[in-house]
Structure 1
Amino acid sequence: MGWGAFALAIVVAILFGLAYGKSSFAKQAKRQTLQALTPAQVKSDGYTSSASCRACHPSQYASWHKSYHRTMTQLAGPHSVMGRFDGTEVVSGGLLYSVYQTNDQYWAKMPDPEIIMKTIETGRRINDHNYQIRTNGVLSILDLRTVPRVNKRVVMTTGSHHYQTYWVEGSVKDPQTKRNETKYGNLLQTLPLVYLPKEQQWIPRENAFMMAPESKRMISQWNHHCIKCHSTAGNPGLTGNNTFDTRAAELGISCEACHGPSTDHARHYRSPLARYTQHFSKSSTTNIIPKTGSRWFGDPAKLDHKRSSQICGQCHGVYIYNDPKLGESFARNGPTYRPGDDIHSIRYYIQHPGPAPTPVRQEELEKNPGFFRERWWDDGTILAGGREFTAMRVSACYNKGELSCLDCHSMHQSDPVDQLKPHMRSNQACIKCHAEPEYTTSIDQHTFHKPGSTGSNCLNCHMPHTTYALLGAIRNHQIQSPSAQRSIRHGVPNACNLCHLDQTLDWTQQHLATRYGHTPLPLSAEQKNTSAALLWLLKGHAAQRAITAWHAGWQPARDTSGTDWLAPHLARLLDDPYGVVRHIANNSLGKQPGFDRFEFDFLATAPERMRLAKRAIAQWNELPSTASDTTGKSILISSDRQLMETAIQALLKNRDNRPFTIKE
């Protein structure tokens, strides 16, 4: 190479380096700006962040890094944002929102969220748009549609699997200097939209949750609610003048959320001598770090089943603080609980009184019926998802046995979906304890189903999908035996009829009485003659409709009950008043024969939804009839494959239209 070429190469390299350096600096500057708009991630109170764990625990770090716990809360950027910020406009509750992108920044044009927040929290709701407010002692009516629209930067995300929600920056106090000071500190407001990755669709936030159509607007702030479970050691930082100086050890659910603060642990084991001493010691864990004396908790699996489950229960449970002062302390200073502590020393975990309540529990139910109705079925079975610890801790497996969350779940070496250990979707989850022949080699004598079938899967009978969460049904962690009595008395869908969708409650009750000695209860004519699934689907309340509609798309139920009769009944739910019910019903409808290309938008107007519901029924009628068609009085289809419209309309007319909200 000649000197000229060499010199040119040097110049090009320098220019490339300058360009790269400038680009990296710009990205770093943007990231620093974003961090200034979001809760500070600080190393305090013994917390040091997951980055300190990686060097010594690369495998565990890698498996955690793939989990949805890690990505529960992230700074908004190309690496985290799933939504299409492409100028899409969405109307949520009559208010217009638009989302767009500028380079690698994400923005929303929206009604001023702080005006909306203050109006909804302090005003009196007249209707969905109008609120009576008091300004300087004068009463007036504010129409939310007149609230000025402002441009807000999207700074943080929540979720990365089923759906994703977003948080926007607070209002700048001084628009001239653009200083990061707001009326409420670093309070983050919700962008009241949700993005569905599978459908690639933006939807109003109120249509992503089970909530009564007449409910007040779903407006929330990250700092005082979501922070409790969607960050590690999150401190709302509420100040005396009602502003927030929110911070966390780490956004998302990181290593220290389960293993405890690890500053001293990490510092101690930076020494090779300390690591080798630990490796060759007889003890598998070191709880007291030499010299410093600092408490290090370590491995949840080393705790007893109750104490280890409490670590999950810090988020997956329904609780209040034992003392209101503890709640105030959390709001101002952050959590006092550390993994490994006895969580019951600071929290009271609320349980539904159930069918045999104590006087104290019964009083709680009578004073707070709405609170319980939003989280439990009427018999005390858990209804709301995310409350698995609450459910499990009333089970015999937990109270009389030693079942813990860690028996089935792991943050490491597991599928990020459900975080289940290998083989924990099968009977292996149960026969570790229940090893008798009737549950293993002779299981058909217990289940009366073929070995290896879905009817001989312990989980399908004892942990049915009767909990609502994330636009669908998930397994109930209360671990109960199937019961027709709970269905008859309290309307709780039972495992038998959620698989045998074509059978009646009478059929189920007879089988449970004959095979397991259950005591039969009196039944109505409908319960004797009409499929239980159709009673829940057409006549039931919103939760019953949602759970049953989901099972109409569940493959084991489809294999058991047939698939050629469900479509016209699911079609009735395409015009349901609850968006989540319409969404679930449409998903299940798409799995029925002849409906894989049926197009339906669950956010369509009421007249359009009604038109498409009728179109779906007509489409089913147009399908060719065969000798093997499923018909019968119980499924409201006559022998000549005609819908029993009079009976169907009678069920719809008597539908349970009580307002229904589920606090998942």
Structure 2
Amino acid sequence: MQLRIFYLLFICTIFSCKKEERYEKITKDNSFISAKAIPDSHFLGDQKCKECHQKEFKDWQGSDHDKAMQIADSKSVLAHFNGEKFTSQGITSHFFKKDGGFFVNTEGPDGKNHDYRIVYTFGVRPLQQYIVKFPDGHYQCLRTAWDVVKKKWFDLYPDFKVVHSEWLHWSRGGLNWNNMCSDCHSTNVRENYDEQTTSYNTKYALINVSCEACHGPGKQHVDDVKKFGDKYKSSGTMHMTVGMAPKELVDQCARCHMRREQFSSNFNFAGTLLDHYFPQLIEEPIYHSDGQILDEDYVYGSFVQSKMYQNNVACNNCHNSHSLKLRFEGNALCLQCHLPEKFNTPKHHFHEENTEGAKCVNCHMPGKYYMGNDFRRDHSFRIPRPDLSLKYGTPNACSGCHKDKTDEWAWAEFKNLFGQVDSTHFSDKLVPGILGEHNGAVGLSELINDKKQSDFVRASAVKALSHYEAKVLIDKFISYLNDESALVRGTALDVLGEINTTDYNNYLLPLLNDNKRTVRIKAFYSLGGLPETQVPEKYKTNYQKVKREFYDYLKTNSDFVGGQARRAKYYLKQGNLQKGIEGYEKALQIDNINNNVRLDLANLYYSNQEFKKSEEAYKMVILQEPKYGPAYYSLGLLYAELERTDEAIDQMQKANRLMPENIRVYYNLGLLYDKIQESSKAEKTLINGLKIDSNNESLLYALAFHYYKMGEIEKAKNILMKLVQLYPNNAQYKSFLQSLN
């Protein structure tokens, strides 16, 4: 009996002494911030917030954040599931109810129709999507969505044919909730992807974008309020609070309102934006070359281009932070800051009052429809520039609204009403650089050095500068590593990281101690070619810390093609060709029609002398993209290496038709003709290449050697004299010329 009592007391002691899962305030170790996840128990839920913050709760209730994701039931499902059928791109989806649930019968990943139960709703206006549970923890968003306004089913991408085996099919990666959506539609998300089994065990604290999604876990705050009562003072555990600096607030919102890459394994509110994410910069085809929206950019990347942002306007100046609604309707919103007598008058906008043309947003915030019916405005707040439209083909609000008019008309009207453009917009310098114009690098350098521009614009200019010969501009990129902007430093590392050399390691090593995680990780990747044993002693401690951050980053992105490709490139920097191949093979398992990856993989097979695999990969690219010239060119080189000359010539001819400006095609095709003694074709091909680039060194030498072989010595000498003139330090050309005299 005594033994039994002792046993029971022992059991009780074990359970009573069980420690509560704790979330300690994140501490900094020098510049390193932990990415430790926050226990779900520290998120108390919206009803707890409501007890003290009733007005804010009332505003938030029913908002897009509140309804970001819900369990599918009779209240949350807005669409009709009464036997409706919807057909798009040859696929018919049938929506119905069964056993108290909502179902769709539609095409699955095997190309056959199946019944799928709707488990969650996603969003609330102007469209609602529906989520299906798949095996291994995968949750998929249907491509067919519900138009809340028109009350009908519609295809999110009606003009885009997708085959069931493609990554973009609704049942695969492109519409996977776990990695494409969850981080921003729920609170305290942990993706929990297992690369070995390609399965998910995704968890969240709260299903929607709750109060604590923005303000952080409430447990410490509530405990402090209970403990101190009227004497409560903020302990700094809450985020996005009243009095936050405007730019800091924008960065806090940006986490979910920007197109970005994730770098931390968990978002835990520690540090700043660049400790967790790195934004998509201004690049085509995400943005037009002048920075206007093209693909979805989720607002942040547009807004930080604006003078509004530069002048400390923040999201909450226009939007109610909790309801997300505009603070005022119509021009009254803009007239909070802009004088009505100056701007809200036909003398400024030259349109009749109370018309669409008189609305500020229609000239300064034109928009586009995304996901079929979701109209989103460009938040860069720019003056329409029809002159840039004429130069570069970028859009402008004038001809965008007056669709029966041309850009020439718009520019003439602009000059008539406003005169010439009287100020320089950053796009005047950015566009020529992004388009790779001859003198574009000059404007980009000026833009990067202009500290009055936003960091986002300056970093975009650094990225665009990489379109020019990076090795020629290497000193510039190295200097940007010391820039005060982490965005600029990180972008410079992106450029230097793609140059396969260890020559600049001494400039890269100090960035292992950068105060932003994204920059440190980019620096580690750039140092990939440096053997760990050769890391200088003073950097070894930081090197090991960042190494852990880097591998966490790779794991975090291992379910993305880009993540696997980055891993492959890192191993290739280390000289591990086999690991590089494995990385690209895994990337293709994620997206089997990604031909950028397949082409890189084919080249690696070639380097590894796996010629059969290389040939098959090139042929698959051609099968999927029959007008993609580089695939024919690469396959031609492979056949030339294998002495399959006739087949090599056939592929080079096809490449030449598809890429008539590519000099290397002329060069290699000329050599192949020469090899089979088709001398006239060889000569003609090399000459045609020189018509495009008359001073091309490789073509000139190949033609000189061709004439030498054919006994046309004078022609050979004339070309060699030109080569000696162009390249006076090349002793080979001088020696060749002297041998012909």
422 and 198 in structure 1: CA distance in 2 versus 1, 3 angstrom threshold: closer
Say yes or no: does 1:74 pair with 2:70: yes
Say yes or no: does 1:439 pair with 2:371: no
Aligned counterpart, 1:479: 381
Q: CA deviation at 1:409?
A: 0.6
Per-residue Cα deviation, 1:191-229 (whole angstroms, up to 9, x for no partner): 34212233332334432xx74778853442211111021
| Alpha-carbon distance between aligned partners in 1 of 2:351 and 2:374, rounded to the nearest angstrom | 27
Aligned counterpart, 1:342: 272
1:277 to 226, 231, 238: 231
448 and 199 in structure 1: CA distance in 2 versus 1, 3 angstrom threshold: closer
Alignment RMSD (CA, Å) = 3.0
60 and 93 in structure 1: CA distance in 2 versus 1, 3 angstrom threshold: same
Say yes or no: does 1:57 pair with 2:48: no
Aligned counterpart, 2:182: 227
| Alpha-carbon distance between aligned partners in 2 of 1:92 and 1:315, rounded to the nearest angstrom | 31
| Contact persistence 2:255–2:277 (CA under 8 A) | no
Number of aligned positions between the proteins: 378
Tell me which amino acid in the other structure corresponds to 1:313: A
Aligned counterpart, 1:461: 363
Q: CA deviation at 1:95?
A: 4.3
Aligned counterpart, 2:396: 494
| Alpha-carbon distance between aligned partners in 2 of 1:300 and 1:491, rounded to the nearest angstrom | 43
Q: CA deviation at 1:468?
A: 4.3
2:145 to 194, 198, 203: 194
| Alpha-carbon distance between aligned partners in 2 of 1:81 and 1:507, rounded to the nearest angstrom | 48
Aligned counterpart, 1:612: none
Per-residue Cα deviation, 1:249-297 (whole angstroms, up to 9, x for no partner): 21221111221221111233346x61x335xxxxxxx431xxxxxx422
206 and 433 in structure 1: CA distance in 2 versus 1, 3 angstrom threshold: closer
| Contact persistence 1:381–1:391 (CA under 8 A) | yes
| Alpha-carbon distance between aligned partners in 2 of 1:264 and 1:402, rounded to the nearest angstrom | 31
Per-residue Cα deviation, 1:217-242 (whole angstroms, up to 9, x for no partner): 34422111110211122111113533
315 and 470 in structure 1: CA distance in 2 versus 1, 3 angstrom threshold: farther
Q: CA deviation at 1:75?
A: 0.4
Q: CA deviation at 1:300?
A: 3.9
| Alpha-carbon distance between aligned partners in 2 of 1:201 and 1:460, rounded to the nearest angstrom | 28
Aligned counterpart, 1:23: none
78 and 498 in structure 1: CA distance in 2 versus 1, 3 angstrom threshold: same
| Alpha-carbon distance between aligned partners in 2 of 1:151 and 1:343, rounded to the nearest angstrom | 41
- What secondary structure sits across from 1:302 in the alignment? coil
| Contact persistence 1:43–1:49 (CA under 8 A) | no
Tell me which amino acid in the other structure corresponds to 2:387: Q
| Alpha-carbon distance between aligned partners in 1 of 2:195 and 2:404, rounded to the nearest angstrom | 60
| Alpha-carbon distance between aligned partners in 1 of 2:267 and 2:239, rounded to the nearest angstrom | 19
Matches within 5 A, 1:144-159: 144-145=110-111, 147=112, 149-159=113-123
Aligned counterpart, 2:315: 405
| Contact persistence 2:170–2:176 (CA under 8 A) | no
453 and 346 in structure 1: CA distance in 2 versus 1, 3 angstrom threshold: same
Aligned counterpart, 1:317: 258
Aligned counterpart, 2:95: 99
Q: CA deviation at 1:315?
A: 1.2
| Alpha-carbon distance between aligned partners in 1 of 2:355 and 2:403, rounded to the nearest angstrom | 17
Q: CA deviation at 1:454?
A: 4.4
Q: CA deviation at 1:388?
A: 0.7
Aligned counterpart, 1:565: none
- What secondary structure sits across from 1:109 in the alignment? strand
| Contact persistence 1:100–1:107 (CA under 8 A) | yes
Aligned counterpart, 1:265: 221
44 and 458 in structure 1: CA distance in 2 versus 1, 3 angstrom threshold: same
51 and 43 in structure 1: CA distance in 2 versus 1, 3 angstrom threshold: farther
Q: CA deviation at 1:404?
A: 0.9
Aligned counterpart, 2:298: 387
395 and 154 in structure 1: CA distance in 2 versus 1, 3 angstrom threshold: same
| Contact persistence 1:384–1:467 (CA under 8 A) | no
Tell me which moved more, 491-500 or 444-453: 444-453
**Structure 2, unpaired ranges of 5+:** 1-37, 423-741
Q: CA deviation at 1:490?
A: 3.6
| Contact persistence 2:157–2:372 (CA under 8 A) | no
| Alpha-carbon distance between aligned partners in 2 of 1:84 and 1:431, rounded to the nearest angstrom | 42
Aligned counterpart, 2:154: 203
Aligned counterpart, 2:80: 84
- What secondary structure sits across from 1:438 in the alignment? helix
| Contact persistence 2:68–2:185 (CA under 8 A) | yes
Per-residue Cα deviation, 1:513-542 (whole angstroms, up to 9, x for no partner): 23333369xxxxxxxxxxxxxxxxxxxxxx
Per-residue Cα deviation, 1:141-177 (whole angstroms, up to 9, x for no partner): xxx44x4x44332111112222221112224xxxxxx
| Contact persistence 1:67–1:411 (CA under 8 A) | no
507 and 68 in structure 1: CA distance in 2 versus 1, 3 angstrom threshold: same
Per-residue Cα deviation, 1:311-353 (whole angstroms, up to 9, x for no partner): 22111112224x5xx3xx2xxxx32345xx420233222221x
| Alpha-carbon distance between aligned partners in 2 of 1:154 and 1:59, rounded to the nearest angstrom | 33
1:287 to 226, 231, 234: 234
| Contact persistence 2:89–2:161 (CA under 8 A) | no
**Structure 1, unpaired ranges of 5+:** 1-41, 117-143, 172-183, 279-285, 289-294, 353-364, 366-371, 521-664
342 and 65 in structure 1: CA distance in 2 versus 1, 3 angstrom threshold: same
47 and 515 in structure 1: CA distance in 2 versus 1, 3 angstrom threshold: same
Provide the identity percentage.
23
256 and 386 in structure 1: CA distance in 2 versus 1, 3 angstrom threshold: farther
- What secondary structure sits across from 1:106 in the alignment? strand
| Alpha-carbon distance between aligned partners in 2 of 1:218 and 1:490, rounded to the nearest angstrom | 36
| Alpha-carbon distance between aligned partners in 1 of 2:84 and 2:355, rounded to the nearest angstrom | 46
Say yes or no: does 1:168 pair with 2:100: no
| Alpha-carbon distance between aligned partners in 1 of 2:396 and 2:336, rounded to the nearest angstrom | 25
Say yes or no: does 1:297 pair with 2:226: no
2:334 to 430, 433, 441: 430
| Alpha-carbon distance between aligned partners in 2 of 1:317 and 1:464, rounded to the nearest angstrom | 18
Per-residue Cα deviation, 1:382-440 (whole angstroms, up to 9, x for no partner): 223452111000112212x111111101133x5x6xx21134x31x4334444485336
| Alpha-carbon distance between aligned partners in 2 of 1:192 and 1:468, rounded to the nearest angstrom | 13
| Alpha-carbon distance between aligned partners in 2 of 1:519 and 1:204, rounded to the nearest angstrom | 42
Q: CA deviation at 1:505?
A: 2.7
72 and 502 in structure 1: CA distance in 2 versus 1, 3 angstrom threshold: same
| Alpha-carbon distance between aligned partners in 2 of 1:203 and 1:437, rounded to the nearest angstrom | 44
Tell me which amino acid in the other structure corresponds to 2:204: A
- What secondary structure sits across from 2:142 in the alignment? strand
| Contact persistence 1:206–1:218 (CA under 8 A) | no
| Alpha-carbon distance between aligned partners in 1 of 2:134 and 2:156, rounded to the nearest angstrom | 19
- What secondary structure sits across from 2:214 in the alignment? helix
Tell me which amino acid in the other structure corresponds to 1:277: K
* TM, length-normalised to structure 2: 0.47
| Contact persistence 2:95–2:104 (CA under 8 A) | yes
388 and 44 in structure 1: CA distance in 2 versus 1, 3 angstrom threshold: same
| Alpha-carbon distance between aligned partners in 1 of 2:116 and 2:404, rounded to the nearest angstrom | 51
444 and 170 in structure 1: CA distance in 2 versus 1, 3 angstrom threshold: closer
| Alpha-carbon distance between aligned partners in 2 of 1:67 and 1:312, rounded to the nearest angstrom | 16
459 and 192 in structure 1: CA distance in 2 versus 1, 3 angstrom threshold: closer
Aligned counterpart, 1:355: none
Tell me which amino acid in the other structure corresponds to 2:343: Y
99 and 65 in structure 1: CA distance in 2 versus 1, 3 angstrom threshold: same
